[in-house]
Structure 1
Amino acid sequence: MQVKPPRPYYVPVANEEQVFKAAYKQGLSIALKGPTGCGKTRFVEAMAHDLDRPLVTVSCHDDLTTADLVGRFLLRGGDTEWVDGPLTRAVREGAICYLDEVVEARQDTTVVLHPLADHRRQLPIERLGVTLDAAPGFCLVVSYNPGYQSVLKDLKDSTRQRMVAIEFGFPTPDVEEKIVANEAAIDHDRAADLVRLGQAIRRLETGGLREVASTRVLIAAGRLIAEGLIPREAARAAIAGPLTDDSTVTRGLLEMIDVYLHDGSPDD
């Protein structure tokens, strides 16, 4: 008998779990909106676990084609055979298909989602001349960061109006401390220091930052601390380094790290 793996660690911030499960039961598609590294992917993993559905994840990018999603003919052993793409596999299996950062894909690629995202729940496969009905349990979930992408990289109105939207932000400090402490396996005092640093960086008004300090980078810094790095070194490597290449902004971040983190025990 196969043992079900434990639930991915996710701490709800509002009513996002109830909204997701209600939409899933009604066969509605779902759009997750929020900044990079705020927990959208972990949330989908937790929902797939709760609903006991397989999860198919696709990281979208500029070169993603319709064939990459739906499938293509390949030559194998001298024969040409059709190979399903991840979206088609999910449709056939009744899985949750999660398209991460969907606006990074070309708009002519995402149009294939329309008949799946509305009441039809169908996937036309032109190369096979067939239209698949989504198996029971199938759910289409997409995510994107509306505060980061430009107007040229935005979700089409015709796509977004086919979906239920769930808005994400960074957790409240007490929740984020729990997440960082659990995910990085560090004590809560050290996690609290990292969260205070993250909040301070998020309050900055500067054009030199690629992104604000996400929960993800705070966890990465915590993991380095768990491996024995002193907190300031861990934060320089996991937070300041990934956030900017601007030397002036970097100096400012390093000064903030020195203010908010100390290299002794948390009680010092």
Structure 2
Amino acid sequence: MPTKNINASTRPYYVAVANEEQVFNAAFRQGLSILLKGPTGCGKTRFVEAMAHDLGRPLITVSCHDDLTTADLVGRFHLNGGKTEWVDGPLTRAVREGAICYLDEVVEARQDTTVVLHPLADHRRQLPLERLGVTLDAAPGFCLVVSYNPGYQSVLKDLKDSTRQRMVAIEFGYPTADVEEKIVEKESGIGHEQAAALVRLGQAIRRLETGGLREVASTRVLIATGRLASAGLTLSEAARAAIAGPLSDDPNITSGLNKMIDVYLPTS
């Protein structure tokens, strides 16, 4: 199961768009769990990393998927040298250490798995470990943060109402053009004019109305495009590789995206 522990010595680069930092800090101080809602690549993960740095808390991130089990989160017994020993999962480690536990794209996990979050997400702040017969109280500093992309919502993949109502929600969208230009410029190392051109292209793609385009040009893919340009590709070459290619497998849609790239990022 993909997990990563983060203890950043320098603050991850994040530019606030609204009052999301104030809401997160207030929820953290009150011991409330947090739900981040927004499209793919708009900065949710970077935001959590920046908040963990500001609050001086370790961050444990779990990338959720449909095979994620309760044991993957909580822990399980392992055979080690002929002896059976208990090994904590990432959620249990966060509860014991007082870390921020970030469950990325939580709706990808099975609903019977996310139910284990309920006693942690409400006033109890407890994690039952049924196999050990104990219930852990969350250490000071523990915070549960989950995220998901409403654009992928479906009847089969959605958060239960009983889970939602235990959390404080923060809505995310793509940054305004001036903010996004600064982010792309800073993160990719390209010049301001190139960053501005990429942002204009990204905004144009986001305005498209076509069922064949599963995703739009996120801030993340604009940064990837800029990084390719920093490595020596022309901006249009970089955009074909990092935007048009990944966004669609449909030849007609890819062709349309390439034409937009020609308009917004002329080779000259």
Distance 2:264 2:195 in 1: 12
Partner of 1:187: 191
Correspondence for 1:163 among 142, 159, 167: 167
CA-based RMSD of the aligned residues comes to 1.0
- 1:134 corresponds to which of 138, 146, 157: 138
Q: Which residue in the other structure is 1:105 paired with? A: 109
Give ranges in structure 2 of 5+ residues lacking alignment.
1-6
> One-letter code of the match for 2:10?
P
SS at match of 1:150: coil
1:198 aligns with 2:181: no
Which amino acid letter does the alignment assign opposite residue 117 of structure 2?
L
Runs of 4+ in structure 1 deviating by more than 2 angstroms, as ranges, are none
The alpha-carbon deviation at position 210 of structure 1 amounts to: 1.6
Letter in 1 for 2:258: L
Deviations 1:7-38 (A, max 9, x none): 00000000000000000000000000000000
Residue aligning to 2:252: 248
Partner of 1:35: 39
CA pair 62-203 structure 1, distance change in 2 beyond 3 A: same
Distance in 2 of aligned mates of 1:259 and 1:114? 50
Measured after TM superposition, the shift of residue 150 of structure 1 is: 1.5
Structure 2 distance, partners of 1:4, 1:134, is 23
TM-score by length of 2: 0.96
1:46 partner amino acid: A
Cα displacement (A) at 1:142: 0.1
In structure 1, the residue matched to 2:4 is: none
Match of 2:58 in 1: 54
Give percent identity, aligned residues only. Answer: 84
What is aligned with 2:225?
221
- The answer to whether 1:174 aligns with 2:178 is yes
Secondary structure of the residue aligned to 1:218 is: helix
TM-score normalized with structure 1 length:
0.96
Q: What is the rounded CA distance, in whole Å, between the counterparts of 1:258 and 1:63 in structure 2?
A: 42
Alpha-carbon distance between aligned partners in 2 of 1:87 and 1:262, rounded to the nearest angstrom: 49
Query: Does residue 238 in structure 1 map to residue 242 in structure 2?
Result: yes
Offset from partner CA, 1:106-157 (integer Å, 9 cap, x none): 0000000000000000000100000000000000000001122212101110
Amino acid at match of 2:196: A
AA partner of residue 107 (structure 1): Q
Residue identity matched to 2:148? Y
Helix, strand or coil at the partner of 2:48:
helix
Displacement of 1:262 in angstroms is 2.3
Cα deviation per residue 1:204-254 (whole Å; 9 max; x = unaligned)? 000111211100000000000000011111001100111111111001000
Equivalent residue, structure 2, for 1:17: 21
SS in structure 2 of the partner of residue 56 of structure 1 = strand
Structure 2 counterpart SS, 1:147: helix
Q: Could you tell me which amino acid in structure 2 is paired with residue 198 of structure 1?
A: G
Figure out how many residues of one structure are paired with residues of the other and give that number: 262
The residue aligned with 1:258 is: 262
1:78 matched residue in structure 2: 82
1:164-220 deviation per Cα after TM superposition (whole angstroms, max 9, x unaligned): 000000000000000000000111110000000000000000011121110000000
Deviation at 1:81, TM superposition (A): 0.4
State the AA in 2 paired with 1:122.
Answer: Q
The 3-state SS of whatever aligns with 1:123 is strand
- Secondary structure, counterpart of 2:22 in structure 1: helix
Pairing of 1:3-14 with structure 2 (within 5 A)? 5-14=9-18
- Cα distance, 1:4 vs structure 2: 6.7
